[in-house]
Amino acid sequence: MSFNIKDIRADFPILSQKINGKPLVYFDNGATSQKPQVVIDAISKYYQEINANIHRGVHTLSQLATDAYEASRNKIKNHINAKFAHEVIFTSGTTHGINLVANGFASLLKPGDEVLVSALEHHSNIVPWQMLCERTGATLKVIPMNENGELILSEFDKLLSEKTKIVTVNHISNALGTINPIKYMIDKAHQVGAAILIDGAQAVSHLKPNVQELDCDFYAFSGHKMFAPTGTGILYGKEAWLNKLPPYQGGGEMIKEVTFEKTTYADLPHKFEAGTPNIADGIVLGTAVDYINSIGIENIQEQEKELLEYGTQRLLEIEGLRIFGTAAAKTSVISFNIEGIHPYDIGTIIDKLGIAVRTGHHCAQPIMNFYNIPGTIRASFAFYNTKEEIDVMVEAVKKAKLMLS
């Protein structure tokens, strides 16, 4: 389809509402994206027409629901270019996927082994690995960052050794927008025999990961940041790795046979999908993938590139404003502060003017500690945002600065 911003904005009903009497300017897409009408309608359609449990019923509705759920799995498999559909595991989100892998590695690590995380990580890609190291006696090592918000690859190279068992890094930093050189990191990790997990939570709305081309061992992401419902997500894992890891949860669906003496586990993907899943939203995650592809990832990237460049230029017109995260490779996120003013105060005032941004540490406290700041104001753009909205935000920030100075 051709990229018509007016038509695209009409797809998102929430964008037409007013907040505090002002037109909504939604710049908190890094936290969650808005949902197009086609996604909203698909949720309703499921409950109106085929609501039933899946994989276990012979009746028509159960078969229809199962078919729709597995069709969604196949859409996601094709979208990320996984080799097999059974390498696509439905989860509740990125956090769930990361914890699944970390829990599985508890049976593979021993004291003296090393886990590498980066200084740019969300807490969800730090805490599970800390917990894993505490359980196993393994050591957590941190890949450092520089003032631009980029990982120092020479230091990464030095940290890698035969002791490294898994590397875990985000594709895109939620706090700064940095796009990490994950292909380089994947190849380097594999050279020392380490597995690598990519946290793609912030990436999947901006680009289309090709997991076979990347050659990553695991790739985790959430649906709610790619225009799908909350409580949905995907863990991609190479077949060999998923077969090697033990189940994360026990219960129905993930079993082949149960006796009181012994349980044998189901084959992939069901081995990691215990219990009744979030069926409706899992199906609708496939609808969101269809919507993204109907817009075209190239169109999305072009629009967001223009917004990033324009927003950066306009915000830097404000005296005393500093942008954190100036990496050469960056997506449509601008984290900034104004000298002498707490980010929370700016965020509160511009909310009164209808502008939604995120303030705080963005679940990335180590990044804030690196810059020695309490947090930032984060404006994160989606393809349905406009330059006119950026102008509104800039004027609101100027007004807030005047009030607080």
Q: Please give the CATH architecture assigned to the domain spanning 40-293.
A: 3-Layer(aba) Sandwich (3.40)
Please determine, looking at this structure, whether the domain spanning 5-31+297-404 carries the CATH number 3.40.50.300.
no
Please confirm, yes or no, whether 216 is among the known catalytic residues: no
The pLDDT tens digits of the residues spanning 125-138 come to: 999 999 999 999 99
DSSP code of residue 319 = T
The pLDDT tens digits of the residues spanning 76-102 come to: 999 999 999 999 999 999 999 999 999
Arithmetic mean of pLDDT, 238-267: 88
Q: Number of C-alpha atoms within 13 angstroms, CB side, residue 46? A: 25
pLDDT of 2 reads 64
Please choose, from the candidates 174, 208, 211, the residue with its C-alpha nearest in 3D space to the C-alpha of residue 196: 211
Q: Which residues contact 177 (CB under 8 A, 6 or more apart)?
A: 149, 308, 325, 327, 330, 331, 332, 333, 334, 335, 380
Residue 1 scores a pLDDT above 60: no
How far is the C-alpha of 87 from the C-alpha of 163, rounded, in Å?
27
pLDDT of 263 reads 82
Q: Catalytic residue among 10, 363, 373, 404, which? A: 363
Arithmetic mean of pLDDT, 347-376: 97
Please report, for the chain, the start and end positions of each structural domain, with discontinuous segments joined by +: 5-31+297-404, 40-293
Band (pLDDT 50/70/90 cuts) for residue 36 is very high
Q: What percent of the chain has pLDDT over 70?
A: 100
How far is the C-alpha of 50 from the C-alpha of 28, rounded, in Å?
33
The pLDDT tens digits of the residues spanning 288-303 come to: 999 999 999 999 999 9
How far is the C-alpha of 196 from the C-alpha of 219, rounded, in Å?
9
Averaged pLDDT of the chain: 97
